[in-house]
């Protein structure tokens, strides 16, 4: 009986020791305060849109290649400089990227990746819920294959945001 107890203790150490020796993740926090202009076009609105993004991006990279990105207190505001009107979306997450044996990655997005409402109009655009897809590691934003999609994922905020911004 005592030998069995020692064997169990050794087996437990074999499981615990590699975990304890694994490299800790690296965490990078970046403050974002970026403004850019989307030109008027058939793919956006018939007027330029100023996009202002502010907040923190926290990226945690694990030794197994898993990368988790969260955006605490992050906002994106679309503004029409001609009308002075704007719409704001608070972002959340996380976005989790995990490498696959075939060289692709699995991208999981949980939560709010964009949500616009307008006064007296209501819901305009949403990229919210749970989305899992396979992607090329050099192009995380373009799904090769959707694995799971629950919630509401619109492909683009355009033209839905154009009316309330005009």
Task: State residue 29's pLDDT score.
Answer: 97
Give the pLDDT band of residue 150 (cuts 50, 70, 90).
Answer: very high
Residues 6 or more apart whose CB falls under 8 angstroms from that of 97 comprise: 66, 67, 68, 69, 105, 106, 107, 108, 137, 140
pLDDT digits (tens, 9 = 90+) for 29-59: 999 999 999 999 999 999 999 999 999 999 9
Q: Is the pLDDT of residue 4 over 50?
A: no
pLDDT of 14 reads 47
Nearest residue to 125 via CA among 95, 92, 161:
161
pLDDT at 5 over 90: no
Q: Quote the pLDDT of residue 92.
A: 79
What is the C-alpha separation between 128 and 150, in angstroms, rounded?
Answer: 8
Averaged pLDDT for residues 77-85: 97
DSSP codes joined into one string, 21-72: HSPPPEEEEEEEEEEEEEPP-TTS-SS-EEEEEEEEEEEEE-TTS-EEEE-T
pLDDT at 21: 66
11 pLDDT more than 90 = no
pTM for this one? 0.79
Residues near 139 by Cβ (< 8 Å), separated by ≥ 6?
none
Residue 20 has pLDDT above 60, yes or no: no
Average pLDDT in the chain: 89
Report the 10 Å Cβ neighbour count for 151.
15
pLDDT at 18: 52
CB atoms within 10 A of CB 6: 10
């Amino acid at each position: 009986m005592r030998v069995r107890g020692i064997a169990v203790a050794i087996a437990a150490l074999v499981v615990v020791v590699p975990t304890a020796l694994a490299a800790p993740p690296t965490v990078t926090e970046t403050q974002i305060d970026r403004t850019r202009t989307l030109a008027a076009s058939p793919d956006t609105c018939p007027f330029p849109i100023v996009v202002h993004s502010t907040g923190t991006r926290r990226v945690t990279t694990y030794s197994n290649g898993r990368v988790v990105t969260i955006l605490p207190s992050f906002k994106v505001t679309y503004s029409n400089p001609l009308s002075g009107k704007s719409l704001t979306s608070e972002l959340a997450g996380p976005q989790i990227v995990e490498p696959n044996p075939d060289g692709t990655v699995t991208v999981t997005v949980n939560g709010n990746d964009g949500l616009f409402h307008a006064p007296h109009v209501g819901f305009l655009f949403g990229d919210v819920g749970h989305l899992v897809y396979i992607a090329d590691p050099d192009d995380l934003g373009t799904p090769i294959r959707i694995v799971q999609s629950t919630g509401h994922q619109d492909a683009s905020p355009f033209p839905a945001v154009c009316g309330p911004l005009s």
